[in-house]
Amino acid sequence: MKIAAGMVEPDSGDIIRQPSANARYLEQSPDLSNFATVLDYIQDGLISVEGQFDESTARVPYLLDALGLTGKEDPTNLSGGEKRRAALIRTLAPEPDVLLLDEPTNHLDLPAIEWLETELGQSRSALVLISHDRRFLENLSKRVVWLDRGTTFELDKSFAHFEDWRDEMIEQEALDRHKLKRQINREEHWVTHGVSGRRKRNVRRMKELGTLKSTLKNANGPQGNVSITVSEADRSAKRVVEMKDVSFAYGDRPIVSELNLRIMRGDRIAVLGPNGSGKTTLLNLMTGKLDAQEGTIKLGDNLEPLIIDQARAGLDPDMSLRDAMGDGNEAVIVNGNPVHVMRYMQDFLFRPEQATTPLRALSGGERARVQLAQGLRLPSNLLILDEPTNDLDLETLDLLQDMVADYPGTVILVSHDRDFIDRLAARTLAYEGPADWQLYPGGYSDMARQRGKGVEARSENTGKSKKKSKPAPRKGRTEKLSFNDTFRLKNLPEEMKAINAAIEVLNAELADPDLYAKDFDRFCAASDELVKASETLDTAEMEWLELDEKREALKG
């Protein structure tokens, strides 16, 4: 894209540009450091060759308002999303003939992404987009250029058709490699067992065999066909998080009001809202980092959370890739098994020659892979993903998506990537207005269909939210649990404790590596007992949860 924008000269080949065509380039990391205000930065990009402001300055107030900026902001205090919005205004205002946009949705929230999508869809400019946002590409693209291992391939259809087309090409490539291997085997058989023939003919065939082997060596196949092993912790309790009438505010600014939410083991929940709505605060409440100011939050037993956030925190930029992946060791322990650090690197799409590369030289997507690799070595049963898709390339996004889909524990996901949410979330907690959150079944598209709209920008009304009215207490006889229900509710915790103890004994017995060979019948019996004990524990936990809910409902 930088070559197309005239910022980088190619090593060879020709570039033909229309002299009258006006192109604007949106870079991934805009630099506003030399400007006193955002408006100065924007106007600097609108000055013509003659030193005059062009007519596009009339669009600046509209774009500032649409993207939530005033122009008076100090660039040194801007977040990544605000810098991206300022760069978008500077790029879009002139309405150029060609827009070259490099990751335009990075660090934007959903309202801004959907506004930008509509704005570009109505634009008369030709669009060239680099993006990992599948939904954004599907809605705006008409052609796709795929850059793979130094070669470009073109699809004369929208991105909606890309993955099927790419998979067909990968399958064909695998078939071609298979045919090439068979051809090499035939040639080697001829060299070893065939009739010598004339010397010149032999020399020619030996050269051809060498060429075939060189071709096969260079056909490494596409990235992405990997298998990731997640280190599993002991199972968490059936009920992971329960929030009852939870309220929290920062001063006069309410974040959540009387929220009731239950997250069960194995749930996949997405949290959606504009920037500033309080999504990260909600995560901190759900994980016990913050206490509720009103209401109660109960966390299940045996929770071992793993947090993957957008800050890429904890990565030393001077550390080599190999040391970061293995903590300086030759092997890492994953799910109890040693894995050589070079193999572990390849599991996360890194090439062996990258081993000594310092982390500062890696792309955003590659640093995200490093953070994933470091986190997944640790046992966990609750995965927290806070804006995990920022800066990711499609290969890393696919990797992350497959890992989350196969994750055996509970997942809480905060993201602005609509396609990512649709593929992974079973329920969606959406921002409805100040301190108001509503739970919907399904992912982003299901939520938008039920609401009749997507996620809207945060309201500026930051006053104290109104209390939700509670139902009046029922008059007459007070209902309570039956004798049998009360008895079961009292005794189930001891039963579950005993079952857990039995499961621990069976796990210890089955951990003996010699049991299978020494006593195969006992190995099979212990395995069956473990399955039955786990099923009994699930049943008991569910019974206790139902009775506890019934008790709480009767108290209310």
Each residue of 309-329: pLDDT tens digit? 766 566 888 999 999 988 888
Q: What are phi and psi of 58, to 5 degrees?
A: -65, -25
239-314+370-451 has the same fold as 23-149: yes
Which carries the bigger pLDDT value, residue 261 or residue 518? 261
Type of residue at 484:
N
Q: In whole angstroms, give the CA distance from residue 270 to residue 430.
A: 8
The confidence band for 259, taking pLDDT boundaries of 50, 70 and 90, is: very high
Query: Comparing 43-52, 163-172, 202-211, 406-415, which segment has the lowest mean pLDDT?
Result: 202-211
| Cα–Cα distance measured from residue 238 to residue 266, given in angstroms and rounded to the nearest whole number | 9
CA 389 to each of CA 217, 237, 377, 396, 445: distance values in angstroms, whole numbers, following the listed order: 33, 29, 20, 9, 18
Per domain, the residue ranges of the chain are 23-149, 164-218, 239-314+370-451, 483-555
**% of the chain at pLDDT higher than 90:** 32
Sign of CA dihedral 115, 21, 158, 175: negative
CATH architecture of 23-149: 3-Layer(aba) Sandwich (3.40)
CA quadruple 113, 114, 119, 122: dihedral positive or negative?
Answer: positive
Residue 43, CA distances (Å) to 47, 74, 252 in order: 7, 15, 36
Tell me what the mean pLDDT of segment 120-145 comes to.
94
pLDDT at 396: 74
CATH number (1.10.287, 1.10.720, 2.60.40, 1.10.8) of 483-555 reads 1.10.287
Averaged pLDDT score across all residues of the chain: 82
Structure tokens at 310: 């957008």
> For helices 394-406 and 364-376, what crossing angle results, to 10°?
20
Distances (CA, A) of 49 to 52, 53, 89: 7, 9, 20
Of residues 169 and 541, more confidence is placed in 169
Question: What is the DSSP pairing of strand 23-26 with strand 98-102?
Answer: parallel
pLDDT surpassing 70 at residue 431: yes
In the prediction, which pLDDT does 551 show?
78
Give dist(CA 476, CA 303) in Å, integer: 42
Cβ density class 449-479: b for 16+ within 10 Å, e for less: eeeeebbebbeeebeebeeeeeeeeeeeeee
Could you confirm whether domain 239-314+370-451 is CATH 3.30.360.10? Answer: no
Residue 393, number of CB atoms within 10 A of its CB? 19
The model's pTM: 0.70
Rounded Cα gap, residues 478 and 456, in angstroms: 44
Residues 191, 179: Cα–Cα separation, whole Å:
19
Q: Which of 166, 303, 160 is nearest to 222 (CA)?
A: 166
Mean predicted confidence (pLDDT) in 509-519: 82
Q: Cβ of 489: how many Cβ atoms within 10 Å?
A: 17
**Which is more confident, 481 or 361?**
361
Q: What angle do CA 386, 392, 397 make, to 5 degrees?
A: 85
Task: Say what percent of the chain tops pLDDT 70.
Answer: 84
Give residue 352's pLDDT. 87
Note whether 387 and 310 are within 8 A (CB): yes
Q: Express each pLDDT in 465-508 by its tens digit.
A: 444 444 444 444 446 777 777 878 888 888 888 888 888 888 88
- Give the least confident one: 138-152, 439-453, 472-486: 472-486
pLDDT (0 to 100) of residue 50: 47
What 3-state class would DSSP assign to 528?
helix
Tens digit of pLDDT for each residue in 190-240?
666 655 544 444 566 656 666 766 665 565 555 544 456 666 666 777 888
Q: 552 vs 85, which has greater pLDDT?
A: 85
